[in-house]
């Protein structure tokens, strides 16, 4: 998750004016429960550190974000080694897909329970 330079400036301004990080996040329309306390604490620490840099919130010149990277191209000594590599790689992809499906189901469950929280039966 990345935050814009404007968001970081507003966050720091509010933080220095006594508003807590969780409330700042909430004021910007982000549910703090989704981020969690640890991420909010790290975000606060990172924004404070970035504000002290000479370049401020601007991306550092040597930053690799947005740059094209060389893709790793494996080399194999045998067909068996290649088969084992691709088998393990496909298992990893299946695990990632299962995880994404579970996260989506949890997010839908959470949004349904949050939208129905104020309703009486």
In this structure, are residues 33 and 11 in contact, taking their beta carbons and an 8 Å threshold? no
pLDDT at residue 64, as a whole number: 62
State yes or no: pLDDT of 119 exceeds 80. no
Average predicted confidence (pLDDT) for the chain: 86
Alpha carbon distance, N-terminus to C-terminus of the chain: 37
pLDDT at residue 109, as a whole number: 87
DSSP structure class, residue 67: S
Q: Give 86's pLDDT tier (boundaries 50, 70, 90).
A: very high
Q: Token pair for residue 30?
A: 């982000």
Nearest residue to 21 via CA among 3, 39, 1: 39
pLDDT at residue 11, as a whole number: 93
Mean pLDDT of 48-66: 77
């Amino acid at each position: 998750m990345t935050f814009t330079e404007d968001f970081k400036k507003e966050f720091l301004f509010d933080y220095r004016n006594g508003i807590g990080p969780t409330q700042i996040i909430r004021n910007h329309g982000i549910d703090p429960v989704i981020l969690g306390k640890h991420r909010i604490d790290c975000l606060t620490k990172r924004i404070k550190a970035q504000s002290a840099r000479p370049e401020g919130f601007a991306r550092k010149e040597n930053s690799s974000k947005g740059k094209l990277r060389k893709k790793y191209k494996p080399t194999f000594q045998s067909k068996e080694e290649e088969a084992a590599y691709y088998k393990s790689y496909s298992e990893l992809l299946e695990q990632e897909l299962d995880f994404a499906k579970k996260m989506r189901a949890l997010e839908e469950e959470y949004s349904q329970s949050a939208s129905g929280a104020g309703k009486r039966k």
